[in-house]
Amino acid sequence: MSELDQGELRIFAGRASRDLCTSICDYLNLPLGQGHSEMFPDGEIIVKVEEDVRGRDCFIVQSTYNPVNAHLMEVLIYIDTLRRASAKSITAVIPYFGYARQDRKDEGRVPITAKLVANMLTIAGADRVVSLDLHAAQIQGFFDIPVDHMVAAPVIVDHLESMRDELGSIVFVSPDVGNVKTATMFATQMGADLAIIDKRRKSGSEVTSANLIGDVKDRTVLMVDDMISTAGTMCAAAELVMEKGARDVIAACTHPVLVGLAMERLRAAPISKVIVTDTIPCGNRCAPIEDKLVELSVANLLGEAIHRIHHNRSVSALFRNGAAGSKR
């Protein structure tokens, strides 16, 4: 294989991201690292690495979605296993970083769990963390080790560009004020207009979208967020823009968390497509919206990042040069 020394690099898959990790290894033309994990009847997790990793750069790929605690413990145990096996370096590739929404104290006597998880990964022995679209960018500062905070925008934009002719006149809509920066980034990359929804939340599970700032009449509305969780915000926004005369609504996100009433809401909402990535696998749980669902892969993006980290090359340059989908 050109340029990449297979003898010095090993990539291992946690149970949560085995398909994604296999695709990353295919991109890099590398075999999947030989290791496995399993759960004992009492709920404890055991990890076994079945090949020599002494003096090698090791990467463990594992998203920490539901069951979050089991997947988090697995990646911590994998890191400890690799450290005790004398790996040269250990990088935790966590495409979806669980607990990222608990990033500050918004009331008294509550934890900052994102910081706690950062400490746990560091103490376990990780030398570096790679993640995609953290819910709050400041989480990078919770770590005392390097963090490569990547974005899935190149993957989503490439897909939207491939649909450009059928989309017609487009406008990116931020479903709430907190998403304006993301919507602006996508609008800039695609040379599109921007509109903003003033969202008012009634409770933790109920959202009312009140006002629209911008013009959506007879246009295709694109709404992009880092994640879709219960889909309340996205679906309420879709209904509002359709009331304001939008021609179509397409929703996109990096992380398809899709819990609670998300499936029912998305199925009933005036949304023609739900574009997601495979940071969290959809599988059978997304059957209720399979006619709307488009799943994109971030394997090449993460594979390129792993290649650059292994060769001590810039990861941020990957995005500056617009080369996120290119193969070295």
- What positions carry a catalytic annotation? 199
Closest to 240 in 3D by CA, of 198, 282, 276, 205:
198
8 Å CB contact between 80 and 124: yes
Give one word for 45, left, alpha or beta, with left for phi > 0 and alpha for psi -120 to 50. beta
Give the strand order in the sheet containing 293-296. 207-213, 193-201, 170-174, 220-228, 248-256, 273-277, 293-296
The CA distance from 5 to 270, in Å, is: 50
Nearest to 244 by CA among 139, 162, 171, 308: 171
Question: In the sheet that 9-13 helps form, which strands lie side by side, from edge to edge?
Answer: 9-13, 57-61, 89-94, 128-132, 147-150
Asked whether 259 and 66 are in contact (CB, 8 A), the reply is yes
- Amino acid identity of residue 217, one-letter, is K
